[in-house]
Amino acid sequence: MDLLDTLTAKGLRGEVPTREEALAVLATTDDELLDVVAAAGKVRRRWFGRRVKLNYLVNLKSGLCPEDCSYCSQRLGSKAEILKYTWLKPDQAADAARAGVAGGAKRVCLVASGRGPTDRDIDRVTDTMAAIKDADPEVEICVCLGLLSDNQAERLKAAGADAYNHNLNTSESTYGTITKTHTYADRVDTVQKAHGAGLSACSGLIAGMGESDEDLVDVVFALRELGSDSVPVNFLIPFEGTPLAKEWNLTPQRCLRILAMVRFVNPDTEVRIAGGREVHLRTMQPLGLHIANSIFLGDYLTSEGQAGQADLDMIKDAGFEVEGAGEATLPRHRADIAAASSCGTTASGCGTAASACGSGGGCGPCGGHAHDAPEDAPAAPETTEAPDDDELRSDLVKVRRRGAGTELAPNA
């Protein structure tokens, strides 16, 4: 197939496809699916071998957020019956992180719902990072606290944070259909602040919200231009009690095509299968490992994932191996670019330099008070046809009832 031969050759050289080629990947048929996976797999192995990086989420504060992101179970007005609690104490968060590291996680992602952190919140997270690093100095820490104000990224970097997550989620042209309490430009600004402070930029997307192929390609190219080192690909988890509860638009085959498109556009960047892989990829998850080189271990922020041991068994059975703490995730030339961003360049300079040389989650500001959404809250994106009732697999969405914020052991 000429398209896949072209994409493979470009990916092996670290080159970017055209928008038309990226769109063509999403338009391939199910009969061509294994060829698409095989082509993306060659690119993945060229830059990342057969390693799988494991990441572990710790939800420091669940719910209680003023933002109205339609996709989020923690959003303003959410009626999803999720766990709600305020800030975990540093030792509680460190205990949760320790479980993930013991399970093989190389990176711990500290997440708190809300529009953005106060200075006191930065202090809390600083104390939490210190407690985690005391137990395991080698663990990577990614922080996700929402929109950043001036100098907050620098404070996190100085306190030991390695990365900052803030997803773009969808294209700029459709962003206003999913959120009205902040803008796409706000998100771009935060990613640039993080990168400018020398933090590795972790920024990705959410697929399955009713977006078009063009929207998906737009956001993936935007992430590359921003210089994202890690691209989490989330597949919408349609929680009951949120505006997107009926958005069941994804099939396992569609998810694999999306992952392949992301890989071809970001050949030498960490691509992570994030939230929703169990819900939408289901028994085809192992094929996703041939495209992505990173996953979350165990549970997510407000939903349960498959058992941590099942993740490890899946990786082994598929012929892959867990990436060790001493192994570099990014190829040498990408790691050099990331390191250069910590030498005092401006935020805008970091984004420009990274996009010129090649570039690459899932969390973000999200929350949920248990009251009605405001009248101007964003509605669910329009779809051409409502899914049949028997296609609404809400039985696959399991609210997290263990781990952080509970008395039960975490899943890792």
Asked about 282 being catalytic, the answer comes back as no
- List the structure tokens of 201: 């930029």
Domains along the chain? Answer: 2-375+386-396 (3.20.20.70)
The C-alpha R_g of the chain, in whole angstroms, comes to 19
pLDDT of residue 361: 32
Asked about 350 being catalytic, the answer comes back as no
CB 195 within 8 A of CB 351: yes
Question: Of these residues, 65, 350, 363, 366, which one is catalytic?
Answer: 65
pLDDT of residue 359: 27
Question: Of these residues, 44, 107, 109, 187, which one is catalytic?
Answer: 109
Q: Which residues of the chain have pLDDT under 70?
A: 1, 337-392
Whole-number Å distance between alpha carbons of 339 and 183: 29
Asked about 202 being catalytic, the answer comes back as yes
pLDDT of residue 301: 84
Asked about 142 being catalytic, the answer comes back as yes
Asked about 255 being catalytic, the answer comes back as no
pLDDT of residue 354: 31
Asked about 272 being catalytic, the answer comes back as yes
Whole-number Å distance between alpha carbons of 63 and 79: 11
Residue 366's nearest CA partner among 60, 72, 165 is: 72
CA 229-96-301 angle, to 5 degrees, is 60
pTM tops 0.95: no
Give the type of residue at 68: D
Containing H/E element for 294? strand 294-296
Asked about 343 being catalytic, the answer comes back as no
Partners of 254 in the β-ladder: none
Question: Of these residues, 202, 255, 350, 363, which one is catalytic?
Answer: 202
Question: Of these residues, 51, 69, 107, 187, which one is catalytic?
Answer: 69
Question: Of these residues, 44, 107, 142, 366, which one is catalytic?
Answer: 142
Question: Of these residues, 124, 272, 277, 400, which one is catalytic?
Answer: 272
Burial 97-109 (b: 16+ CB within 10 A, else e): bbbbbebbbbbbb
**What sign has the CA pseudo-torsion 70, 97, 230, 126?**
positive
Question: Of these residues, 44, 72, 75, 255, which one is catalytic?
Answer: 72
